[in-house]
Copies of this chain bind each other. A is one copy, B any other.
Amino acid sequence: MNTPADGRGLPGTNLDPWYSQYAQRTAGLSASEVRALFAVASRPEVVSLAGGMPVVSALPSNLITTAMERVMRDKGPVALQYGSGQGIPALREQILDVMALEGISGSVDDIVTTTGSQQALDLVTKLFIDPGDVILAEAPSYVGAIGVFRSYQAHVSHVAIDEHGLIPDALRETIARLRAEGRTIKFLYTIPNFHNPAGVTLSASRRSEILDIARSNEILVLEDNPYGLLYFDEKPPEALRSVDEEGVIYLGSFSKTLAPGFRVGWALAPHAIREKLILAAESAILSPSSFSQLVVSEYLATADWRGQIDTFRGVYRERRDAMVSALGEYLPQLQWTVPNGGFYVWLTLPNTLDSKQMLPRAVKELVAYTPGTAFFADGRGRHAMRLSFCYPTPERIREGIRRLATVINGELDLLQTFAGTGMLESARIDPHYASPPPDLD
């Protein structure tokens, strides 16, 4: 109808009549690579090592049904009604018991229950970030956090990590450099346990050191800990929040220890901050679902939830073992992290391979993963990928890694065969990314 000549019909112009009306922050919203993959990877013939879905089939669904029935029978009018913006007090009491397992003591008054801990991330970012403010985050970091931070126009500065987590010296240097540039650092976002996507855990000695650095630089810490109870061997060191009440906002979730379908997570905030957090939560959704909260509360009160977490540990340990052993068998020349808990392995590729460019070929071979670029705000991560072992069975994981090896080895063969012929346009190495990311080598 319109020709390009009149300027209409061009991408990003006035196909959207409201194009000129969006807020500046809206430019930062983009489809996450993980979400876009869900559609592709949901075909049953594809082994998806891409998503982060927990194994809800390992739950005793009869106990959940019973919990719902009891809630409707005994507390129906409360379950169906609006509730407190801060969340139901009985559930907040039980959340204290859950956090006690990781060394945290706190007050029920300082907990805010949220629509998954993702909402807590959103609210904390809303409270603290003006456009251009800096958030420090691990390199790599959780894709959903980077998305939220961008949506409030934050600048994410990545801090290098190694197999023991965030590197204290790198943190010091990054803070010093940013402050020398006159930047305002608002908080450090960190996932200390079984990192998503890197699979590493912050060591005990580094925990004290990181907290000291944050304290002496007056930088708030946002500790995101969805996986801490899902350890395979020994428990991880106690939470950062367990030794610093005033300087840490702690985020927890029932999505991995119970089920994500209820969307129940929480924040435990320093007392000075929590009132603002409640106001932000009320503004965003009035109150979290009373029904979901009461079902979770009833489940915690009547089911053996600690035993269920043990069950999950066994399920995920077996899958971690399957993945690590398959990697050793099929891709022995590469490097990967061996997580002691959680859902994820980080695989480093040779510098000649680009995980994002390779993905369509992998999907053609019926295996999916998340390219490393999803986990960086600055374009890094092309020579790495996240492999999730949480959802497929051990057999499928093994088959998935076998397929992945076929793709990777095929790419490497191709590169070797045609090296120097100039025929590999699509696999060309961008000089900007030619050196490996400084994070996990």
Q: Mark A108-144, 1 if CB is under 8 A from B, else 0.
A: 0000000110110010001111100100000000001
B-binding segment of A281-289, A376-384, A393-401: A281-289
B-binding segment of A24-32, A341-349, A422-430: A24-32
Which residue of B82, B119, B280, B292 is within 8 Å of A151 (Cβ)? B280
Q: Is the CB of B56 within 8 A of A276?
A: no
- Docked pose: A152 CA to B128 CA in angstroms: 13
Q: Is the CB of B284 within 8 A of A30?
A: no
Q: Is the CB of A119 within 8 A of B260?
A: no
A3 within 8 A of B: no
A418 within 8 A of B: no
Q: Is the CB of A260 within 8 A of B26?
A: no
- Majority secondary structure, A binding face: helix
Q: Which A residues from 66 to 114 make CB contacts under 8 A with B? A: 68-69, 72-73, 76-83, 85
Q: Mark A320-358, 1 if CB is under 8 A from B, else 0.
A: 000000000000000000000000000000000000000
Q: Mark A366-386, 1 if CB is under 8 A from B, else 0.
A: 000000000000000000000
Which residue of B17, B18, B151, B283 is within 8 Å of A148 (Cβ)? B283
A259 within 8 A of B: yes
Cβ–Cβ < 8 Å partners of A276 in chain B: 22, 26, 29
Closest B residue to A59 using CB positions: B80
Closest B residue to A62 using CB positions: B72
Closest B residue to A14 using CB positions: B272
Chain B CB within 10 Å, residue with most, of A25, A79, A116, A286: A286
Q: Is the CB of A65 within 8 A of B69?
A: yes
Chain B proximity of A218: nearest CB distance (Å) = 8
A262 within 8 A of B: yes
A164 within 8 A of B: no
Chain B proximity of A201: nearest CB distance (Å) = 24
Given contacts A64-B72, A82-B261, contact A122 B59 (CB under 8 A): no
Which residue of B31, B77, B78, B128 is within 8 Å of A279 (Cβ)? B31
A234 within 8 A of B: no
Q: Is the CB of A118 within 8 A of B65?
A: no
Cβ–Cβ < 8 Å partners of A129 in chain B: 23
Q: Would you give 7 A-B contacts (Cβ < 8 Å), ordered by A? A: A23-B129, A30-B279, A31-B279, A61-B72, A82-B260, A151-B280, A292-B292
Beyond the given A21-B128, A23-B152, A56-B76, please list 13 additional residue pairs across the A-B interface where CB-CB is below 8 A.
A16-B273, A23-B127, A29-B279, A80-B261, A81-B261, A83-B261, A115-B289, A116-B285, A118-B285, A118-B286, A122-B283, A144-B283, A259-B291
